[in-house]
Amino acid sequence: MAEAEETGFSLMSLEDELTCSICLSTFDCPVTIPCGHNFCQECLLATWKDSYSCPQCRTLFATRPELKKNTVLSTVVETFRVRSGKSDGAAAATASAAASKPEKKKKKDAIRCDTCMEAVAAQTCLTCMASFCEEHLRPHRENPTFRLHQLTNPVEDLMERICSDHYKLMEHFCSQHQRPICTLCLQHAHRGCSFTSPEEQRSKKEADLREKLVFLDGKLSKNETVISQMRSMQNKLKESAIHRKSAVAAGYQQMRDMLTREEGEAMKAIDKEVETGEVKIRGLVTKFSENVNNISKAKEDIHCLLAQSQTLAFLQTSFNLPQAVSFDPYTPRISLDSKKVVQSEAFALTLKNYLTELLKHPVEARIPKLIAEKSPGNKKLGKSMENLLEFGVKDIPMGHPATADTKEKAETSDIPSEIGPFEKRTELLKYGTVLTFDQRTAHKRIQLSDNFTKASVSDEHASYPDCPERFAVCSQVLTSKGFSAGRHYWEVRLSSNNFIGVGLTYSSIDRKGPTSRLGRNDKSWCVEWFNVKLSAWHNSSETVLVNPNPKRVGVLLDCEEGRATFYNVADRAYPFHSFNFQCAEAVYPAFWIFSSGSFITLCKLQ
């Protein structure tokens, strides 16, 4: 009797679970929809008019789901009604009582035994499709009849594992339709479909998700790398902008300084002309003033004579006109129209008009306009402007004649006293070395050919990759071999003796800035043919040399003595200049070529 009361009490605790959420009464012909919720069939159909959705979770279905009676739930409801002894009227009373209860049910903390509905379930039987506590699990443990039943840990969603079509455990997963199915489904609706176990399907899905995680990690890493590169590029842009602004400001400041100097010279010329004119005028004014005084005195003397009352005394006096009366006064022609003053004013006006016309063009068209002038009258100007653009005005001769001091210096300092008038070339060839040009250092205007032994310059830039070793401002190139010990000799053939330089440099020379030109820093030395002048350059200091106009130049480098000697090579080797320096680091042969079409060839020593 006590057991019956306990069972009745357990069934009473299921009353809320067996109540339809629409009519709030015990289920009558319960049906299950795809979202898993159960309703009375009539109640559910009454809510489905314009659309098909779950009255409880609001899940919307595109088409009307196929409704089938939930036989398991119907059996439980009937058992509940029989054991609780309720009639239809009592069921209505129960529904009224249930309506007064709050709609939200307390979430169960643990899975309960399906037999007693109170004790915590110890295991779930997948054959019986029910969970049991230790007491009600005894038949499965002790009765041989249940030995084939499959026991597992308590399953919370047991009812969701039941096939809605066949009320059997869904032990398989249909790979084709991507849904769990039971054994009977394999024999009917899913006949011929490939299937696997839910556990295996879960493993596949987990593997797929892990692959997607790896893919997403790769994409994330790539995006972060690109963002980092763009931030680095942003910083480099800012640094480059600072350097570019400094270079532009320095260039314009140099032009302002040059114009200021030219303006000062022009003003001095005008002041000198004014001073010369004033001196001349003052001299003439002084002379004419003396003449006026002498003439005025002569007039007074005549008036005195005329005032003489005694005739005899008047007749005995004599009077001579002063010498000043013989000089006719004139206004000198003094003006500021001297050749130097007029030319200074004309140059200022011409330069202003030229710059005015030039600045009317876009900035990208100005350089081509400066260097593209090919007419005979403008060729020299175009070449001068081209030199101005690449090297700066300080390197361009200003047209002043060479002074005696300069000539004397050129004659006495170009060849050291210890160098003889000539040397036998065979003696130099003992130290001969094979050289090739280093493409990594070549400016993009320089084209290398003949196995990297010929360097020629062109107006078109080569498609060399950017690298730290490459010269970016001056059209220069180094050899691939440098020297820090011993004696070494090499020869080069020049296409012309104009706008070409041959020298040496440390590898630490600047490659990008305005001071990267050979001889314009303390890390390089060179002899350079510029227009018709040959000069030796080091640390921006120029020494004008006697120009032998060589076609073949030899260089002897003595690292032990720290000396580099340059030779005009013909039948013999005639030295024309030498540099003394310390081999603080490896020294590399270096070359500068400017005019388009010019070239330098590294000679084979024979």
DSSP string over 152-175: ES--TTTGGGB-TTT-SB--EEET
Among 70, 100, 130, identify where a domain stops: 100
DSSP letter (8 states) at residue 17: T
Each residue of 505-563: pLDDT tens digit? 999 999 988 889 999 999 999 999 987 789 999 999 999 998 888 999 999 999 999 99
Return the ∠ at Cα 193 (arms to 190 and 195), rounded to 5°.
Answer: 100
Measuring CA to CA, which residue among 265, 248, 502, 517 is closest to residue 399?
265
Tell how strand 552-558 and strand 487-494 pair up.
antiparallel
Torsion angles phi and psi, residue 553, rounded to 5: -115, 130
Same domain, 448 and 575: yes
Same domain, 424 and 335: no
User: What is the C-alpha separation between 391 and 530, in angstroms, rounded?
Assistant: 12
490 by DSSP, 3-state: which? strand
Q: Do residues 484 and 504 touch, judged by C-beta distance below 8 A?
A: no
Supply 425's token pair: 């070339």
Each residue of 21-49: pLDDT tens digit? 888 888 888 989 888 889 898 898 888 87
Same domain, 425 and 308: no
Question: What is the CATH number for 42?
Answer: 3.30.40.10
Q: What is the pLDDT of residue 442?
A: 95
Each residue of 572-591: pLDDT tens digit? 899 999 999 988 889 999 99
Q: What is the pLDDT of residue 376?
A: 45
In a domain, 141, yes or no: no
Amino acid at 165: D
Q: What is the number of domains present in the chain? A: 3
In a domain, 195, yes or no: no
Q: What is the pLDDT of residue 113?
A: 87
Report the predicted TM-score, pTM, of the whole model to 2 decimal places: 0.36
In a domain, 251, yes or no: yes
In a domain, 224, yes or no: yes
Q: What is the pLDDT of residue 4?
A: 45
* Sign of the dihedral defined by the CA atoms of residues 99, 47, 76, 169, in that order: negative
Determine whether 217 is exposed, middle or buried from the number of CB atoms within 10 Å of its CB (0-12, 13-18, 19+): exposed
In a domain, 397, yes or no: no
Same domain, 439 and 541: yes
User: What is the C-alpha separation between 510 and 312, in angstroms, rounded?
Assistant: 105
Q: What is the pLDDT of residue 11?
A: 54
In a domain, 554, yes or no: yes
Among 279, 313, 339, identify where a domain stops: 339
| Residue range of the domain that includes 54 | 1-100
CA 395 and chain centroid, separation? 33
User: What is the C-alpha separation between 551 and 603, in angstroms, rounded?
Assistant: 12
In whole angstroms, how large is the CA radius of gyration of the chain? 56
Q: What is the pLDDT of residue 566?
A: 95
Same domain, 332 and 425: no
Residues 6+ apart with CB under 8 A from 404: none
Among 100, 135, 162, identify where a domain stops: 100
Supply 569's token pair: 């090579």
Q: Do residues 220 and 204 touch, judged by C-beta distance below 8 A?
A: no
In a domain, 192, yes or no: no
Residues 6+ apart with CB under 8 A from 399: none
HSE on the CB side for 119, CA within 13 Å? 15
Q: Which residues of the chain have pLDDT under 70?
A: 1-13, 85-109, 167, 372-422
Amino acid at 463: S
Across 351-363, b (16+ Cβ under 10 Å) vs e yields eeeeeeeeeeeee
Return the ∠ at Cα 234 (arms to 231 and 235), rounded to 5°.
Answer: 90
Please count the residues of the chain.
Answer: 606
Each residue of 380-417: pLDDT tens digit? 444 444 444 444 433 333 333 333 333 333 333 344 44
Same domain, 426 and 552: yes
In a domain, 482, yes or no: yes
Question: What is the CATH number for 565?
Answer: 2.60.120.920
Same domain, 79 and 222: no
